[in-house]
Each structure stands twice: as structure tokens, then as C-alpha cells.
Amino acid sequence: MRPRIQDEFTGLPISRQRKYQLRMQRDRRCTECGEPANIGSRCLKHLVKARERQRTKRGLKRRYYGTLSYKLQAIEPSKGKAVKRHKVSLQTGVQS
């Protein structure tokens, strides 16, 4: 049997799934798969999945190229859906 994890989330009255998410956020890892997450709480793959899922759910047709997922996708096009997009500066959010 594994030893019980003792940290700042152990005594909180929340579900074990939420504790897992909080631990992943603390360690700067994706809250869904555990991959390293440089910026935000998810890896690029899950940022893109969440973005597209919300667009479908809300029936949105327009794309907001200034969002974090598009900026990261422009830097690292090999992950997620690699589609040629506008170049967007991560610091300024200005298209070039």
C-alpha cells in the first residue's frame, strides 16, 4: 500500500480529484494529464482541446487569435492542431 500524501491539501474538505488538480497546479503541470505546463494550468494539447470544445458548445464561429492557446501554438506548432495561424507576440499580443 502506498503511503498517504501529506501536504497542504491533505486536510481540505474537497474531493480527491480536486486535490490532484491543485497539486498539479502547484507543480506547474497539466491538471488533466500531468505533462509540464509552461504557462497556465494545462499543456498545449489540452488548452487546444478545451478551446475547441468551448467553441463548439457555445456555437462560436469567430476565432480569438490573441488567446494563450493560439500564442503558444504559434511558438510550438508541432503539438495540438498544427494550422498556419497569424504570428502573435507572446508579450504584446500584437499580430505581425
How many domains does one find in the chain? Answer: 1
Tens-level pLDDT at each residue, the chain (96 residues): 999 889 999 999 999 999 999 999 999 999 999 999 878 889 989 999 999 999 999 998 988 888 888 888 888 776 555 445 555 555 655 565
Residue 51 counted as domain residue: yes
Residue 22 placed within a domain: yes
Q: Decide if 90 is inside a domain.
A: no
Q: Could you tell me if residue 80 is inside a domain?
A: no
**Range(s) of the domain holding residue 65:** 16-75
Mapping DSSP onto H, E and C, the string for the chain reads CCCCCCCCCCCCCCCHHHHHHHHHHHCCECCCCCCECCCCCCCHHHHHHHHHHHHHHHCCCCCCCCCHHHHHHHHCCCCCCCCCCCCECCCCCCEC
Domain annotation covers residue 65: yes
Is residue 91 included in any domain, yes or no?
no
For the whole model, what pTM was predicted? 0.67
Beta bridge partners, 36, equal 29
Residue 93 within any structural domain of the chain: no
For residue 5, is it within any domain?
A: no
